[in-house]
Structure 1
Amino acid sequence: MSAGTGAVTAAAATDAPLAFPGAQGWAARTPGGRGGRIIRVTSLAAEGPGSFAEAVNAKGPRTVVFEVGGVIDLGMKELRINEPFLTIAGQTAPAPGITIIKGGLTIAAHDVIVRHLRVRPGDGHRPKRSGDIDAITAVRGARDVIVDHCSLSWATDENLSASSTRFLGEGEKGWMEAASRRITYSHNIIAEGLANATHAKGEHSKGSLIHDHVNDVLIVGNLYAHNYERNPLFKGGARGQVLNNLIYNPGQRAMHYNLIAEEWQGHAYSRGQMVARGNVLRAGISTEPLALFMAGGSGDIDVYFDDNLAVDRIGQPLPQQGRYTTAPISIDAIKRAPALPFGVTLLPSAKVQDAVIADVGATPWNRDPIDRRIVADVVEGRGVIIDSQDEVGGYPQYALTRKAFVEAEWHLDTMEPRTSYPRGEPLR
């Protein structure tokens, strides 16, 4: 299933160490910032000395740790990661952890690990159709990227995406090498994309866009909740595996594929590929008639579906497949199960809801009130798609906390704690 993506790197080498225990997928062996500098974030300011932005923009291999907890307000800007070999270790922050508001992260580099952050752009109280922000997106050329155990909500474009320029390079092989690739999105909360907020197109509550030709992407163990579409969407020629995710209360589409002919004029269509196994879809209050997987647009796709569960609000089965196109596209079933990506132990769908709920989000050991509400609403069948963060309590206002980062308390090669994550008192 892996596309040809150029020379072997550390992330692809079978003898390289794992990024961290439990790392999965084609990016599982990225070194991130291993072996580089430890850079301490000591300020919650959007920029300047000791800021998160200063640490991210530094050159060379580096691991970003936090000696502060609280809210970083980016002022409706995206923070772009241009320098490779980076580990962002949000798990090192003292409670309440790190929450980024009014902005997002754009990953434009290779070998990047982002763990245990909350990113909540929101509408910034700006006018309708005035501009949009992803919570986290990997843009063209990004490769060997892991976003793990993050909480991503209130984006005005996608909450979590992987992008491309569609036709950069020579032919399909070149296009795939130029797209973001070898991506793992694991154990994240991807929730409450804002519908009628600031996006220029109007309604834009979206979970994850996997753009044209993005390949070797693994989406595993995530919670998608209250996103109108793209839970996830694979576009033309995209290839990857969608495994053991819980999708709750989508609007008109859960998982879908769409090659848009207008965007491909003068180019032969690439064939997409989606493997979807052990996923669970539960309809909610905002869910319209849909199927678990729906195909639109004009391009063909190869699929392998196995043990996916889709039910309405009273537990009755929903269709597994549907279409929102009249084009004569081909949806061809792969005859034999493709190999699972590295490190994946597939759960049966009957166990997925409990497993996802137990381990998802930035700080599952001590969720903040927003994550607790989202998770509780999923379990109890509540909640709706929203237009603004103000409908669910608004931006968080956590007090600044401080705690020195002590290197001896952490395995610096994986940024796992030597004992356990500091649990502390429940956040209020």
Structure 2
Amino acid sequence: MDLKLTLVLVGGMSLALFFSNCKKSSAHTETKEEVDTPNNPKPTPVNETAIAFPGAEGYGKNTTGGRGGKVIKVTNLNDSGAGSLREAINAVGARIIVFEVSGNIKLKSRLQIKNGDVTIAGQTAPGDGVCIQDYEMNIAANNVIVRFLRFRMGDLTQNEQDALWGRNCEKLIVDHCSMSWSIDECSSFYANKDFTMQYCILSESLNKSFHEKDDHGYGAIWGGRNATFHHNLLAHHNSRNPRFDGGSRSGTGKSPFGTDLVDYRNNVIYNWGSNSAYGGENGQYNIVANYYKPGPGTESSKNRRIMQISMEADLANYPPGYGSFYIAGNYVYGNAAVTADNWNGGVDISSGVVLSNARLSNAVSAEAITQQTAEEAYTRVLSFAGATLKRDAVDTRIVNEVKAGTATYSGSKTGKKGIIDSQTDVGGWPELASGTSPKDSDGDGMPDDWETANKLDPNKSNANGKDLSTGYDNIEVYMNSLVKSIIVEQVK
């Protein structure tokens, strides 16, 4: 500090001393600490333990995805290159993928997640959101969160795949996604560990399309060691609604995680053609409080079927050949007897299955979910499943058909009601309205207005801070806030 001594003569007799012109030396600049004042308020973080996201349930609920990682923005609908979804997915390291565009991403080849520790937040897209078409997305990595996206593949490329699928992975959760128009199954997840699929819509797999096995309008192959499937809608599939893998059978071999332990409850199954659920060789399953509603394309001989317990042919390599099942509380529309006792006509047994061994009197211990009765779950699934932040015309039509017990369209080649053969049978991909992404001055994935409203600095990148929550990154709080009303309402 520089001091200046000034002498002042007072009455010619005395001296007075004082200091003036005081200033700080440039060599000793002080750092001001941010202070919480009325003009500069600081947020108070919520004390909470983070799971994948609020509302995540089942075995995959502790998936962390890209938490703590970099934010990557999808800025165009291109198949590849700078700003594309493919470039963001192919990046290495923990990452959170957000969208500044909406519309259809027309893939030119498979989109494969090879590098894990990633969150794909479809709810961040403006307008009507994002749809992936022409080729499939495959998850081939651990620790992945996928939310609020559409996967409507179609037959333009004659690609014999599921719209979205994954196996041999750990810690996955797929939430509020919509899958349709696949040439193989709509969406298969099996041979995984610690997995959840929840509040998704799987509809209108293509039946007589370009599959090498000809008719193949199949819903899903589901399984896994510690796998949860809850509050999903399967509608307008000829078979595999779903096919339970088993984890050890001649068709798909032995899972690296062992035989299936699957909790399947509060799902809605509508207008299955020739078969609802079957399979499950050597696995353990809870099939609880699901809602079965046959439709105009359901064969009359199969309209009460909840499950067909299958038998493995190769007992030498895959003993004992059949699974064990706790089946209770399922509702079969129009069949009071099967609804009252699911085993009274609702379960078919393949030759060689010993009923006393296959039928469990108590549920297999499983990770809990917020469960309702089958009738209550029916209402919630139709209200909240799929990419519901902005439900598109396809999901809207499907849900209305389930409610009414109808099928608007039939297969152009087979004539089966609701079991279509091409996406052109139903008019193809709907146009998704575009929107403007909100201003984000610091590029951290959180809009300026939202940051200001939550006492964050919109000019200071702080996506991974814990200013708002002790468990979630700031950007996770933002992403979760976009769909908070849906998550709250679906469990009321």
TM-score for the superposition, normalised by structure 1 = 0.81
Q: Which residue of 209, 219, 233 maps to 1:207?
A: 219
One-letter amino acid of the structure 2 residue matched with residue 332 of structure 1: A
| CA 394–418 in structure 1, closer or farther in 2 if over 3 Å, else same | closer
Establish whether residue 371 from structure 1 lines up as the match of residue 395 from structure 2: yes
Q: Deviations 1:324-359 (Å, cap 9, x if unpaired)?
A: x333455522232333414x0210112121111111
- After TM superposition, list the pairs within 5 Å mapping 1:23-422 onto structure 2: 23-75=56-108, 77-124=109-156, 126=158, 131-140=159-168, 142-163=169-190, 179-210=191-222, 214-236=224-246, 237-259=259-281, 271-288=282-299, 289-290=301-302, 291-298=305-312, 299-312=321-334, 317=338, 319-323=345-349, 325-330=350-355, 332-342=358-368, 344-362=369-387, 364-383=388-407, 384-398=418-432, 400-404=434-438, 406-407=445-446, 409=450, 411-413=474-476, 416-418=479-481
SS of residue matched to 1:19: coil
| CA 360–286 in structure 1, closer or farther in 2 if over 3 Å, else same | same
The number of residues matched between the two structures is: 371
1:420 Cα offset (Å) = 5.5
Q: Can you give the 5+ residue segments of structure 1 that lack an aligned partner in the other structure?
A: 1-14, 164-178, 260-270, 424-428
Q: Deviations 1:21-64 (Å, cap 9, x if unpaired)?
A: 01111211111001100100001011111000000110000000
1:208 Cα offset (Å) = 1.6
CA distance in 2, matches of 1:286, 1:255: 16
Q: Deviations 1:195-247 (Å, cap 9, x if unpaired)?
A: 11111111111212025xx2111000001100111222112342201110010
1:16 Cα offset (Å) = 6.4
CA distance in 1, matches of 2:49, 2:113: 24
1:103 Cα offset (Å) = 1.4
CA distance in 2, matches of 1:250, 1:41: 37
SS of residue matched to 2:381: helix
| CA 371–43 in structure 1, closer or farther in 2 if over 3 Å, else same | same
1:17 Cα offset (Å) = 2.2
CA distance in 1, matches of 2:56, 2:480: 16
CA distance in 1, matches of 2:481, 2:194: 29
CA distance in 2, matches of 1:283, 1:239: 27
One-letter amino acid of the structure 2 residue matched with residue 395 of structure 1: W
Q: Deviations 1:347-386 (Å, cap 9, x if unpaired)?
A: 0112121111111111x24311111111111111112111
One-letter amino acid of the structure 1 residue matched with residue 329 of structure 2: D
Q: Deviations 1:183-206 (Å, cap 9, x if unpaired)?
A: 100000011111111111111112
Q: Deviations 1:260-310 (Å, cap 9, x if unpaired)?
A: xxxxxxxxxxx2111011100000011112211112232221111120011
CA distance in 1, matches of 2:270, 2:336: 13
